[in-house]
Structure 1
Amino acid sequence: MHRFRSNPWPLSLFGVATMLLVAGAIAGFSIPRGEFTATAAPPTTRPVDGLRQHDPDVFALTGARIVVAPGRVIEQGTVVLRGDMIEAVGADIAIPPDARVIDLSGKTIYPGLIDAFSEVSIGDDDANRGAPHWNPHIVPQRRVAGRYQADKSLNEKLRSQGITLRLAVPSGGILKGTSAIVATGGDANDQAIVKSDVAQHIRLTVSRGSREQYPNSPMGAVALARQTMYDADWFGDAWQAWKASSSASRPENNDALAALSQWRDGDGLVVIDAINELYALRADDFAREFKLNAVLRGSGNEYRRLDAIRETGRPVLVPVAFPKAPNVATPEAARQATLESLMHWELAPENPARLQAAGIRIAICTHGLADVGSFLKSVRQAVERGLSADDALRALTQTPAELYGIADRTGTVEAGKLANLLVTDSDLFGEKSKVLETWVLGQRHEHTRDPLFDVRGQWNLKLAPKPSQGGDIELKIAGELSKLEGTSRPLAAKSNGKSKKPADDEAGDKLKQVGLRDARFSALVEAKPWGHTGIAQLSLVLLDDENSDLQGLGVITWPDGSQSRIEATRQSNTDEKSEAATSDDKDSADKQ
């Protein structure tokens, strides 16, 4: 140290020069221009502050049951993820030395689900910019890819349902614009767009709120859409004629008609909204008139005209927004319930199964759901009402991937495809199955984390100082680990200072807001048995000792603000613990 201080100036120059050379070498030569290492983060156009960092993002998901695709299952295997891609899948594959191993024994891996249709609001500015169409309902030049803004809250809900990609569709309009396939990874836009300009979207009617100007009826909407398609044909021919002959008059610019040119004569995918079963037939007539490669976005009513819809030969994007039961709680309400509404409530959950049985190609979507958090519940209802699990999975993975031209990148758990996965604790379509985690473009998103400890059973809590009455506390904790419940009651003090067990017929008070996160247990306890008025707050940090019962240390805060320290011990061989284990064994047997 003294030697450095005695001659700092020359050394500082040397040190700075050395650091600059090293930094330059790392920044400029660690990755050759135009090349990217397999473990590097996705390439970015943003400048990097300081040294460029290349953290390895390689994972090996081991020991899991892998549903590669509908009907293809590896009972116990490994999936290796590198960056945002799947590197390897198999029952007996070598784990890369740089991989972080995640044990998923007892879990099941599925391909990430694809929401086949969900509308997003991207504004109406395109109706007034550039050279728009004269009618504001005609905005085919709108592009979700250019306006998309990731919604963090919505993406969290979608991921909780296993959805890793969705077709984001512009809302509003008759000729609505083009959709994009977007990832549900978070709130960042720079990695969200997976494929741009997937399909042009058409709605052959107008919404109720937009009927103050032409068109203001379904008939007018169809007429305007047809006229626009014919105008687009003329527009394309006029520009070709002008380019071929300098003597021809130069046509005017029109962004809307120019945007439609690439969707003519079946050159691109078109999705037409069918707001009921009759609109599905109208949409087919429209598509045939202009030779469109069309897919129908269904309404859930297709079972009413199943044969006619099958004859169209069109795939159908099927919503699972099933109706609630009609209100028949009172005679007056029952009289308002029509036979049609009762029949639709009964038959709507069978719609996906009936379409599939009729040989119609289907993809399932969230469209129409008031809460996308109920998506899997609705899909499971469809499975319960006749749709096979394999067909349901295909309608959520392979079929939308094929329709939207991304089957080479997603839809199955195979090497070379995007690292989009979901992990469940059992069969995805089982009633009690839980989505534990979702992987989106190689990023892990956990939804249900297994607790470090199973706290169920009977606990004795020793208090210091003890309250004025009631003595120590006995807790009984039961229920599922994700939804614990329990009771509390006082342990009366003996004359020698030790606590005695209360009589079995003494009813305990129900615990409130029981929580378990990692090693911390908390609950609200009724404080009246201990001489207080109100609710006490209990907090324990759990300690695992292999040589003794599960223990914990913490505090209880009484309603007056005073506290008592706690030493907690779970009692071994309790009836409650045995019942919990028996219940778990029964649940496990039911799942198998």
Structure 2
Amino acid sequence: MILRFPLLLVLALCMGQLVAQTTFPYNGVFDQRSGHYALTGATVHISPERVLDNATLVIRNGKVVSVQASGALPQGAVEVALTGKHIYPSFIEAYGTYGMPAVETSRGSWNSPPQLESETEGAYAWNQALRPETDAAALFTVNEKTAKALREAGFGTVSTHHSDGISRGSAAVVTLAEDRENEVLLERRVAHHLSFDKGSSQQNYPNSRMGAMALLRQTYLDADWYGKQRRDETNLSLDAWAELQELPQVFAVDDWQDALRADQLGDEFGKQYVIKGGGDEYQRLDALKTTGATFILPLTFPKTYDVSDPYAADLISIAQLRHWERAPGNVAAVAEAGIPFVLTADGLEKPTDLHDAMRKAVKAGADSKLVFAALTTGPAELLGIGDRVGTLEDGMLANFIVTDKDPFVEKATIYQNWVQGHPFELKPIKNVELASGYTIEVGDQTFTAEVSGEPGSQKMKVTTASDTTARDVSFTESGGVVTFQFRPGEDGGYYRINATRVGDGYTGTGRGPDGEAVSFTATPRQTTATTTKDSADKKEESPTEYRGKLTYPNIAYGLTELPETARILFRNATVWTGEDGILPETDVLITNGKISQVGKGLADRGATVVDATGMHLTAGIIDEHSHIALLDVNESSASSTAEVRMQDVVDAVDENIYRQLAGGVTTSQLLHGSANPIGGQSALVKLRWGATAQEMLFQGADPFIKFALGENVKQSNWGDRNRVRYPQTRMGVEQIFENYFSRAKEYGRATAAGEDIRRDLELETLLEILNGERFITCHSYQQGEINMLMELAERHDFRVNTFTHILEGYKVADKMAEHGAAGSTFSDWWAYKFEVNEAIPYNGALMHEQGVLTGFNSDDAEMARRLNQEAGKAVLFGGVSEEEAWKFVTLNPAKMLHIDDRVGSIAAGKDADLVLWNDNPLSIYARAERTYVDGKEYFNREDNEARRAELAAERNALIQASLDDKNSGGDTQKPNGKARRLLHCDSVSH
């Protein structure tokens, strides 16, 4: 027997009808109903690739029994008539926190002392940010309020995790049914979640991105050692970590650079991360594709900036305006690049914002089928649950939504969301939703129908060719049957029609004004579905046009195309060779990124000729001590952080790279700060504007590390709350060095002897110093400490390579020369804190006179733009010759950094890192006109001036677009400029 019920009655009967095997006892008479339904007449989207029109979806016991073209209904099924509606698999949230406890984010009071050790009770990891033992399945509780919001957005399944910490433990997959936790939990462990954010941990370490990366590296090594050895300890966190390694590893990042950082880390340990991205992947698709990662893409797009106030609008950078315009196109760009992805609602203000967001993505060029897949089959496959959810194939869970139209393209209404066979009514299906117009044939009459209004409040009027007076048509829907009623003229009776939807129109029968039987058809003249499909197809064929540019990096003065190496002949320049003197009227030829010839009257050999008459050509300036292009500068949490790496936090989108190219700088040593005696490993970079962080690294260079002395490391100027971390005196600083080098020696002895010891990245780094494989640049001021470190180094049989900004170097220059230490100093800084009160501007000249390899550094993003003038001060203060003074910022820093065989002077065979100046480079009137790195032109002053006008025009176009969007009703936000924080030795992230 086939049972047919009105829809509302069906929904009432459905509640609680899933019959499942359970270990729980049942209080009362057991409900044996199987939830056997046949949903008829809808267009069923079985998967992104399979669609059946006018289909019957049969479910029983919470699962799909079959989907087939209309036909005989199964015996005993309750029919739910859904003529004209669409059925899709419910969405799957791949990155959720549903049912998880709130993350406590309190950091204590402002004057709380640093927390140096973990306060987690039990045999767990030494660091509170490591929480691999966290089991989302054990924490999960059904939360009906949150579940309701997610169901309204179309979700039926969620991969949920506790988003707290660097290792966040395992995620669980749950459905959004209202049953007890045992019945909605599908999988206990589906993924291991990680991030760079330490979450609620109040423990000091790590307080930087590089510290988080170092912690993860050490944890991978510790877990490997712990799993293989006889254990002297029990570590429940490492036990859990080992159990999670075979699961998908989901790593949450903030932006495309973090994605590359995470991938680099994963590659070191053979891990292919799934990356939960930041929504700006479009900015560096080529690099991200090489990661091989699947991305979980957010659909969080910036609101339109309210730029109606012309002065407030000046706060917004062109990078922000570009991102506002391009963010909706991120999904399309990632898809076009061939990068696999799924989508998440994470980050949206409310789950239902997903609907507008995914339509924006489609409007911006994303294929609607790919968006469909990225919310269904993609997450199911990623999480290993594709045999249960994601499609409506036979045997799958009965998780599906009922809509009036395609929700990925149109503003659709979700009427119902069925989860595990439970129907949840979101909006009642009370009114039929009509197209904009129909041709109606009823009996022997033909009418033209016009429809106005939004679905749910539509109105219809009919006219005829002979009578253009519009007549109202009333219509109601029940059980998939639409009843139309209208009077064809002012007098006479009504047409009364019952019709059902067939395709995009309606067919039925009824009675005419005289009571006669009539047939009825309503054929759409232009249906919403047809219009949308045509416009969607047209959109896919026509790529989105943007007013803003996409550059490398995607900020002001970024490059639309990366420069290429060229053959260039500089003709008739004054050449500051750095080795063979200053040569007037001399030519320099560069080929394949190298200096190939220096001389007079060189043949061009097909090169591009640059007339340098009256101009000066020098090697690029080398800054021995810089903090530009870094995300963090200090891991200040411990007295030794030798394990952290500055190359982990190189920030390739820092505008200071371009600014310093404009000042003639081509190479910089990016140093850790001075927050601790033993800082982090340095990063030596060439200022390749537009490159990624990895591409900027100076390949093949010797590794360095930052040490520090003085006030900063003993925290004398950090306030009373910082009286916890050792050392607190200069004596303690010496003891730290002594202790760590003694430990490193023992570590080296045990390693060489093949003893079974734990690999320690911190001690490995210090052992490299003892073995002459890594070199020290030491932050220093006062002579006593400088002597101390040299004597300590000699006791341990190594040498301090460089004392940087060494303002009392003039007092110990003879000892430095004897020790073999170089001095990289400031030209004329003094008296900005107590320990530099005895600094003098003659310091550089006096060290140079004593045979110390001497250079000038910036330690400041602004000063680095004028290092040529700093070199000139060596002439002013101390009478150093121009040739030798210029070496203070070129060849001498190159020698300090052991790269003088590659850069620092103009000689055949060296890298073509060159600067063309309009005047003597030591003059305050000198300007860098062109700057080359590896023979590629990264700065051209003439082009720079032209780009100013282009940027102004682009900015204005984006502002006008913002005004258009605001005036069209778009959501807006106040202008909020994001000024870059300039980092210095004492800058601390947290």
Tell me whether the two structures share a fold, i.e. TM-score over 0.5.
yes
Q: Any conservation in 2 of the 1:112–1:438 contact (CA below 8 Å)?
A: yes
Cα deviation, residue 43, structure 1 = 2.0
Contact 1:205/1:219, CA 8 A, preserved across alignment? no
How far off its partner does 1:219 sit? Answer: 1.1
Letter in 1 for 2:210: M
Structure having the higher Rg: 2
2:127 is the counterpart of 1:149: no
- Would you say 1:218 and 2:197 are equivalent positions? no
Using the TM superposition, name which of 69-78 and 302-311 deviates more: 69-78
Distance 2:532 2:102 in 1: 47
Give the one of 438, 456, 464 matched to 1:482: 456
> Which residue of the partner structure matches residue 53 of structure 1?
31
Aligned to 1:340: 319
- Following the alignment from structure 2 to structure 1, what is the Cα–Cα distance between the partners of residues 275 and 431? 48
User: C-alpha distance in 1, partners of 2:395/2:225?
Assistant: 44
Shift of 1:590: 4.1
Alignment of 1:212-291 (within 5 A): 213-238=204-229, 242=230, 250-264=231-245, 267-291=246-270
* Equivalent residue number for residue 422 of structure 2: 443
> 1:107-256 maps to which residues of 2 (within 5 A)?
107-119=85-97, 121-122=100-101, 128-186=120-178, 188-206=180-198, 213-238=204-229, 242=230, 250-256=231-237
Conserved? CA contact 1:204–1:225, under 8 Å: no
Secondary structure of 1:343's partner? helix
Give the C-alpha shift of residue 130 in structure 1: 3.8
Letter of the 1:194 counterpart: L
In structure 1, the residue matched to 2:948 is none
Equivalent in 295, 310, 318 of residue 297 of structure 2? 318
1:73 and 2:51 correspond: yes
- How much has 1:392 moved relative to structure 2? 0.7
Q: Is the 8 A contact 2:129 2:165 kept in 1?
A: yes
Shift in Å at residue 589 of structure 1? 6.2
After superposition, what is the alpha-carbon deviation per residue over 1:319-342, rounded to whole angstroms, capped at 9, x for unaligned?
001111122120122111110110
Larger mean Cα displacement after TM superposition, 139-148 or 424-433:
424-433
1:361 & 1:415 partners in 2: Cα distance? 26
> In 2, distance between residues paired with 1:390 and 1:373?
20
1:300 touches 1:318 (CA, 8 Å); kept in 2? yes
Distance 1:395 1:453 in 2: 30
Q: 1:354 to 1:144 in 2, by over 3 A?
A: same
Partner of 1:536: none
Distance in 2 (CA, whole Å) between partners of 1:424 and 1:409 is 22
The residue aligned with 1:84 is 62
Change (3 A) 1:230 1:123: farther
Contact 1:327/1:337 (8 A) holds in 2: no
CA shift for structure 1 position 481: 5.3
SS in 1 for 2:40: strand
| SS of match in other structure, 1:191 | helix
In the alignment, residue 235 of structure 1 is paired with which amino acid? Y
- What is the CA–CA distance in structure 1 between the aligned matches of 2:494 and 2:182, rounded to whole Å? 52
Q: How far apart, CA to CA, are the structure 1 residues paired with 2:523 and 2:386?
A: 45
- Structure 1 letter corresponding to 2:265: F
Maintained 8 Å contact 1:205/1:222: no
Alignment of 1:542-553 (within 5 A): none
The 3-state SS of whatever aligns with 2:290 is helix
**Equivalent pair of 1:205/1:217 in contact (CA under 8 Å):** no
Give distance in 2, aligned partners of 1:385 and 1:40.
41
Residue in 2 aligned with 1:42? 20
Matched with 1:295 is 274
> How far does residue 317 in structure 1 lie from its aligned partner after superposition?
0.2
SS at match of 1:349: helix
Question: In structure 1, what is the equivalent of residue 701 of structure 2?
Answer: none
- On the 8 A contact 2:87/2:402 being kept in 1, the answer is yes
CA distance in 1, matches of 2:269, 2:420: 38
Checking the alignment, whether the CA contact within 8 Å between 2:403 and 2:416 is kept in structure 1 is yes
Indicate conservation of the 8 Å contact 2:131/2:237, yes or no: yes
- What does residue 557 of structure 1 align with? none
1:364 maps to which residue? Answer: 343
Contact 1:127 1:139 in 2 (8 A): no
CA distance in 2, matches of 1:237, 1:133: 17
SS at match of 1:41: coil
Work out which of the residue numbers 396, 407, 410 in structure 2 matches 1:431: 410
Note if contact 1:398-1:412 (Cα within 8 Å) is conserved in structure 2: yes
- Give unmatched runs, 5+ long, in structure 2: 1-16, 105-117, 434-451, 460-475, 479-484, 488-492, 497-512, 514-521, 534-990
Describe the superposition over 1:418-460 as per-residue Cα deviations: whole angstroms up to 9, x where unpaired: 1111111111223322112111111111212122799xxxxxx
Q: Are the aligned partners of 1:56 and 1:98 in contact in 2 as well (CA < 8 Å)?
A: no
1:422 and 2:401 correspond: yes
AA matched with 1:380:
R
In the TM superposition, what is the alpha-carbon distance from 1:85 to its structure 2 partner? 0.7
For residues 453 and 142 of structure 1, the distance between their equivalents in structure 2, rounded to whole angstroms, comes to 49
Deviations 1:545-582 (A, max 9, x none): 999899xxxxxxxxxxxxxxxxxxxxx9xxxxxxxx99
Partner Cα distance (2:494, 2:179) in 1: 46
Give me the whole-angstrom Cα distance separating, in 1, the residues matched to 2:255 and 2:432: 52
Deviations 1:211-231 (A, max 9, x none): 662111111111111111111
Q: What is the CA distance between 1:393 and its match in structure 2?
A: 0.8
Q: Distance in 2 between matches of 1:408 and 1:127?
A: 42
How many equivalent pairs are there?
Answer: 441
Any gaps of 5 or more consecutive residues in structure 1?
Answer: 1-38, 243-249, 455-477, 486-515, 519-543, 551-571, 573-580
Query: How far apart are 1:49 and its partner, in Å?
Result: 2.4
Confirm or deny that 1:304 pairs with 2:283.
Answer: yes
Deviations 1:52-93 (A, max 9, x none): 221231110111111111122112211100011101111155
Name the SS for the 1:199 alignment partner.
strand
Q: Deviations over 1:340-394 (max 9, x none)?
A: 1100000101111111111110000011111112111101100110110111111
CA contact (8 A) 1:127 1:133 kept: no
Determine the structure 1 residue equivalent to 2:544: none
Q: Distance in 2 between matches of 1:298 and 1:452?
A: 41
Q: Residue in 2 aligned with 1:98? A: 76
Q: Does 1:354 align with 2:341?
A: no
Aligned AA (1:259): A
**Identity, % of aligned positions:** 34
CA distance in 1: counterparts of 2:71 and 2:129, whole angstroms: 55
CA distance in 1, matches of 2:454, 2:527: 13
Q: How far apart are the structure 2 equivalents of 1:80 and 1:53?
A: 20
Which whole-Å CA distance do the structure 2 matches of 1:130 and 1:429 have between them? 49
> 2:127·2:203 contact (CA, 8 Å) conserved in 1?
no
Question: In structure 2, the residue corresponding to 1:430 is in which secondary structure?
Answer: coil
